[in-house]
Structure 1
Amino acid sequence: MSLGRYDYERRYRRRALAGFAKVAFALGVVLAVALFAHRMGMEQVKSRDAILREEVTSLSSQKEQLQLVATQMQHAARVAEARTAEMEQRLRNEVPTGELAKLVQIVGERLKAGVDPARLAFVIRATENPRDCQQPENKRLVLATPLLKTGNKSLGFANNAITVTGEGQSSRNAQGQPESWFDPGQPVKIRITALGGKETVVSGVLPLHQSVVVERNEYRFNFTAGPRSFVDVTADRCPFP
Structure 2
Amino acid sequence: MTLGLHDYERRRRRRFWISTAKTLFLLAVMVGIGVFAYQVGIEQVKGRETGLREENAQLKARVQELDRSVATLQATAHSATVKAAELETRLQRELPQGELAELAKLVAERLASGVDPHRLAFVINETRMPRNCDSPESKRFILPTPLYRGSNTAVGFADGTITISGEGAAARNAEGKTEGWFDPQQPVSIRFTEIGGRQTEATGTLPLQHSVVIGNTEHRFMIAAGAKSFVEVTTERCPFP
State TM-score, norm by structure 2: 0.68
Secondary structure at the counterpart of residue 70 of structure 1: helix
Secondary structure at the counterpart of residue 80 of structure 2: helix
Q: Aligned residue for 2:87?
A: 87
Q: Aligned residue for 2:226?
A: 226
The 5-angstrom pairing of residues 13-162 of structure 1 reads 50=50, 53-85=53-85, 87-89=87-89, 91-92=91-92, 95-111=95-111, 118-162=118-162
Q: 1:86 to 1:150 in 2, by over 3 A?
A: farther
Q: 1:102 to 1:51 in 2, by over 3 A?
A: same
Q: For 1:193, give the aligned amino acid.
A: T
Q: 1:194 to 1:85 in 2, by over 3 A?
A: farther
For 2:89 and 2:163, the matched residues in 1 are separated by 46
> Which is further off, 98-107 or 73-82?
73-82
Instruction: Give the deviation of 1:103 after TM superposition.
Output: 1.1
Q: For 2:182, give the aligned amino acid.
A: F
Secondary structure at the counterpart of residue 227 of structure 2: coil
For 2:235 and 2:45, the matched residues in 1 are separated by 103
Instruction: Give the deviation of 1:164 after TM superposition.
Output: 1.7
Q: For 1:235, give the aligned amino acid.
A: T
For 2:107 and 2:153, the matched residues in 1 are separated by 37
Residue by residue, what CA displacement relative to the aligned partner does 1:63-83 show, whole Å, maximum 9, x if unpaired? 331232023203422442354
For 1:196 and 1:42, the matched residues in 2 are separated by 111
Residues paired across the two proteins, number: 211
Secondary structure at the counterpart of residue 65 of structure 2: helix
What RMSD over aligned residues (CA atoms) do the two structures have, in Å?
A: 3.6
Instruction: Give the deviation of 1:224 after TM superposition.
Output: 0.6
For 2:49 and 2:175, the matched residues in 1 are separated by 97
Instruction: Give the deviation of 1:195 after TM superposition.
Output: 4.5
Q: For 1:214, give the aligned amino acid.
A: I
For 2:98 and 2:159, the matched residues in 1 are separated by 45
Q: Aligned residue for 2:240?
A: 240
Residue by residue, what CA displacement relative to the aligned partner does 1:26-61 show, whole Å, maximum 9, x if unpaired? xxxxxx9xxx8xx99987995686356325422431
The 5-angstrom pairing of residues 146-225 of structure 1 reads 146-225=146-225
Secondary structure at the counterpart of residue 131 of structure 2: coil
For 1:93 and 1:157, the matched residues in 2 are separated by 46
> Which is further off, 83-92 or 69-78?
83-92
State the identity %.
50
Instruction: Give the deviation of 1:167 after TM superposition.
Output: 0.5
For 1:67 and 1:198, the matched residues in 2 are separated by 72
For 1:87 and 1:220, the matched residues in 2 are separated by 41
Q: Aligned residue for 2:8?
A: none
Q: For 2:201, give the aligned amino acid.
A: V
